[in-house]
Amino acid sequence: MAKIRPVSGFPEWLPAQRLAELKILDQLRSAFETYGFAPIETRSIEPLSVLLKKGDDKEIYVLKRLHEPDQDGAQDGAESRNEKNRKNSEEGLGLHFDLTVPFARYVQEFQNELAFPFKRYQIQKVWRGERKQEGRYREFYQCDIDVIGVGQLPLYYDAEFARLLLEVMLKLPIPSICLKINNRKVLQGFYQGLGIQDPSAALRILDKLAKIGEQAVLQQLTDELSLPSATAEQCLRLAKIRGRDLSTLELVRDLGIQNPILEEGLSELEYVMNFNAEFMSSEDSYIEVDFSIARGLDYYTGTVYEGYMLGHEHIGAVCSGGRYDNLCDGGKQKMPGLGVSIGITRVLGYLFGHDLLEVKSASPVKVLVILNDEDGRLAAFNVAQKLRGRGIATDVYHMPQQFGKQMKAAEKRGIPYVCFIMDGSYQIKELATGMQSEVDLEIWQPKAEYLGISILRRF
């Protein structure tokens, strides 16, 4: 037998883990719908022209077809393969690396059939050819909520999204969250006020602060951008300001930089903070302003968010997002958008990998019908069908064996009950207690504690 190995970066869960993941995805769906978001999915591929416009720092997977259409089933010769690669790269399709860029394209394509502001949620896999590293996957789920408006999109949404995101995550079986917020206009205005000619380049360097440290950031700012060291130090001072009240805004103003875009950014931040006063002062999951948050080269133009699991910050952001005013091209009118994304695969991969989450049952089945003998298959099937018809997940043991062996199999799978067929009557036994009694299949119900999937937290 060929030994099969996992493919690096492409995680796969066991059934119990998938049950937990599904429960969490269901919680997200339900919360998103309750908050007024409609579901969509976009195709998994986009033309490279769409992907490269806004994602040129991402590792994109490009598709090519193994066979040419007119050579069905034939193996390619070495010579023709290069020619085919050339043709396929002209077609130019790649797997999407996030759900925001495809969403903006979807809205542009279907704008005559949608009602605006269009609020949607989208839960799909995305692909990135990332380097190997804990918490970095090449295939993973993103769970996104976004809104795109026509002409304008009130600042209200920037405030509401921070709150909805935190409320949704509080309900999940995951550690508490610190949601960091900033505003790109603060960074851009501050850099402009300092006379920096290429604010994007400065932003890209400052974004590495957590990874490379203060000295390396200062050096890159002075070496690569030829900034005077006083200017570089001002950038660093800004990046080090963070906190959970309005005084953080005063600390920025105290740095003495005058710029209208900076002021606009600070006043937007103030609105978002005031709206979320409750979470700004919360002791559990909370929001804080952090002027080091920049969201790399992404397409954001205003508010940006990055959320970390408290006590587990080293695995990086588990949710993020922001406002993008120019990603969706509405032609004559602007179509500003705002969105946040939850990286549930990164969270679960970490929690499963460190035994911080456990699911007791590897099966949704509540009752295993014991198979007496080969002739009893139809009777056992009919018992299962009766329970299934009433919505009780039921399975029939696959072959006649000693009852003890069949009961052990049920226990191993986390199935709480077995059902015996005895001369036309039915007995159900609860394995945890050993209690057994004759039942009426038309009315019997499992105990409430056995309904749903129970997830054990170890954090």
The yes or no reply on residue 60 touching a copy of itself (CB under 8 A) is yes
**Within 1-40, which residues bind a copy of itself (CB under 8 A)?**
1-2, 4-7, 10-15, 18-19, 22, 30, 33-40
Residue 259 CB, shortest distance to a copy of itself, in Å, is 27
Candidates 67-75, 195-203, 305-313, 431-439; binding stretch for a copy of itself (CB under 8 A): 67-75
The yes or no reply on residue 48 touching a copy of itself (CB under 8 A) is yes
CB 420 within 8 A of CB 367: no
> What secondary structure does DSSP assign to 316-358, as a single string?
--SEEEEEEEEEE--TTS-EEEEEEEE-HHHHHHHHHHTT-EE
Number of residues forming the site for a copy of itself (CB under 8 A): 100
Residue 290 bridge partners (DSSP): 242
Q: Which helix (H) or strand (E) holds 229?
A: helix 229-239
Tokens matching residue 432: 């945890």
**Within 375-404, which residues bind a copy of itself (CB under 8 A)?**
377-378, 381, 384, 388, 391-396, 398-399
Candidates 68-76, 173-181, 224-232, 255-263; binding stretch for a copy of itself (CB under 8 A): 68-76
Nearer to a copy of itself, 236 or 421 (CB): 421
CB 292 within 8 A of CB 239: yes
Q: Which helix (H) or strand (E) holds 22?
A: helix 15-34
* Placement of tokens 């393969």 in the chain: 81
Give the integer Cα–Cα distance in Å for 158 and 339. Answer: 9
Nearer to a copy of itself, 114 or 218 (CB): 114
The yes or no reply on residue 275 touching a copy of itself (CB under 8 A) is yes
Q: To the nearest 10°, report the CA torsion of 143, 145, 150, 154.
A: -150
The yes or no reply on residue 73 touching a copy of itself (CB under 8 A) is yes
**Within 94-153, which residues bind a copy of itself (CB under 8 A)?**
94-95, 105-106, 108-110, 113-115, 117, 119-120, 125, 127, 129, 131, 139, 149, 153
Q: Which x/- pattern, by CB under 8 A, does the window 326-365 give for a copy of itself? A: ---xxxx-----------------------------xxxx
Residue 183 CB, shortest distance to a copy of itself, in Å, is 19
Residue 457 CB, shortest distance to a copy of itself, in Å, is 21
> DSSP E strands: which ranges in 242-393?
242-243, 286-290, 303-309, 319-328, 335-342, 357-359, 367-369
Give the integer Cα–Cα distance in Å for 275 and 115. Answer: 26
Nearer to a copy of itself, 44 or 192 (CB): 44
Residue 249 CB, shortest distance to a copy of itself, in Å, is 20
Nearer to a copy of itself, 108 or 282 (CB): 108
CB 302 within 8 A of CB 322: yes
Give the integer Cα–Cα distance in Å for 320 and 298. Answer: 11
Nearer to a copy of itself, 381 or 459 (CB): 381
Nearer to a copy of itself, 94 or 135 (CB): 94
Nearer to a copy of itself, 225 or 410 (CB): 410
370-402 burial by CB neighbour count: b if 16+ within 10 A, else e? bbbeeebeebbeebbebbeeeebebbbbeebee
**Within 409-428, which residues bind a copy of itself (CB under 8 A)?**
409, 412-413
